[in-house]
Chain A
């Protein structure tokens, strides 16, 4: 028989229940569906007190220390979280500022690119206009030159053919009599002149 059974039997003897049912081999029974018979209630209560007192005495500091450490850990986690939140907010501010800077830089770059593109466009237009003017002038000069050249070539061609024609006609005309006449004329003319020197 266990200590609990012994205590229960002793309590049953000291505090008998009104509606108590006699003890059998299985213990005391009661007809109350909630409360046990007094013989079990009293020692059970005392045992519980003892057990809880012992627990409070022996395990309490350990549990308190554990709870304190746990509280400290949670507090630390809360502090860390707060610090992290503050850092995150700082970072967010920095990022927002950086984003603002980026937006400003982007705007500046866009403005600069627009200005450069405008300048290039203006320069290109000026250069294109100059090139077009130069090309037009050159084309005009080429046309004038070609016209002049054609005219010169035509004149030259006419002169060449005329010269060839004259050459051929004169050679055909110069028979022996004409040759002799030319020679005689030369002799007569030179003979008539005097003082021919270099």
Chain B
């Protein structure tokens, strides 16, 4: 089985489990946030991918980290992926799961990165604005990413709407 097929297989399994549990939206959102945290945290990534740490210990790290903050389903699903030695593929598996869930709901995933967290009101208005701009129904996923410095960058499929301070600084540096 190729890497992509394996990732799709895990995503489908996670999707079916979450849908069967009736917590798909919540689990999808929690997994998305965990995947982004996994990407941005070297310590977490190293801990979950270190082959010298027994799988049980890595699963215990996941349970300690997510316990009380997410649903039990999310913890079990992440623990299952880590226990099967696929920690490196968590972001890809979760992205595939989110895409699959959005597709099931006839939605397009819009990943929005900001330097500070958006309020619920801002998220709602941003979702409406993106739906208006793209003409699509949007499944909004927000990520707090300090590297953007300021502003917002939204990615919907292949479309990127970038109005971040980071990009402007890069353009200014390039001109310099």
Contact, CB under 8 Å: A163 / B176? yes
Contact, CB under 8 Å: A170 / B169? yes
Contact, CB under 8 Å: B165 / A194? no
Residue of B nearest to A179 (CB): B116
A196 lies within 8 A of chain B by Cβ: yes
Q: Which of chain B's residues have a CB closer than 8 A to the CB of A186?
A: 126, 151-152, 161, 163
Roughly how many angstroms separate A182 CA and B165 CA in the complex, as a whole number? 9
Contact, CB under 8 Å: A187 / B173? no
Contact, CB under 8 Å: A166 / B173? yes
Cβ distance B114 to chain A, nearest Cβ, rounded Å: 6
Interface 9-residue window, one of B3-11, B66-74, B128-136: B128-136
Select one of A171, A190, A197 contacting B129, CB under 8 A. Answer: A190
Q: Which of chain B's residues have a CB closer than 8 A to the CB of A182?
A: 150-152, 163, 165
A183 lies within 8 A of chain B by Cβ: yes
Q: Which of chain A's residues have a CB closer than 8 A to the CB of B42?
A: none
Roughly how many angstroms separate A187 CA and B161 CA in the complex, as a whole number? 11
Roughly how many angstroms separate A182 CA and B122 CA in the complex, as a whole number? 12
**Interface positions of B from 131 to 176, Cβ below 8 Å from A:** 132-135, 149-152, 154, 157-159, 161, 163, 165, 169, 172-173, 176
B118 lies within 8 A of chain A by Cβ: yes
Cβ distance B149 to chain A, nearest Cβ, rounded Å: 6
Cβ distance B30 to chain A, nearest Cβ, rounded Å: 24
Contact, CB under 8 Å: A191 / B159? no
B62 lies within 8 A of chain A by Cβ: no
**Interface positions of B from 104 to 122, Cβ below 8 Å from A:** 114-116, 118, 122
Given the known interface contacts A163-B173, A179-B116, A183-B114, the answer about A196 and B159 at a Cβ–Cβ threshold of 8 Å is yes
A24 lies within 8 A of chain B by Cβ: no
Contact, CB under 8 Å: B149 / A159? no
Determine which residue in A162, A166, A174, A183 has the highest number of CB atoms from chain B within 10 A of its CB, and name it.
A183
B125 lies within 8 A of chain A by Cβ: yes
Given the known interface contacts A163-B169, A167-B169, A171-B149, the answer about A189 and B132 at a Cβ–Cβ threshold of 8 Å is no
Interface contacts beyond A167-B149, A188-B129, A194-B135: sample of 19 additional A-B pairs, CB < 8 Å, sorted by A: A163-B173, A163-B176, A167-B169, A170-B150, A174-B149, A174-B150, A178-B150, A179-B115, A182-B150, A182-B152, A182-B163, A183-B118, A186-B126, A190-B129, A190-B130, A190-B161, A193-B132, A194-B132, A198-B158
Query: Which residues of A line the B interface, CB within 8 A?
Result: 158-159, 162-163, 166-167, 170-171, 174, 176, 178-180, 182-191, 193-198
Q: Which 9 A-B pairs have the closest CB atoms?
A: A191-B129, A198-B158, A163-B173, A159-B176, A186-B152, A196-B133, A198-B159, A190-B129, A182-B151
Query: Which residues of B line the A interface, CB within 8 A?
Result: 114-116, 118, 122, 125-126, 128-130, 132-135, 149-152, 154, 157-159, 161, 163, 165, 169, 172-173, 176
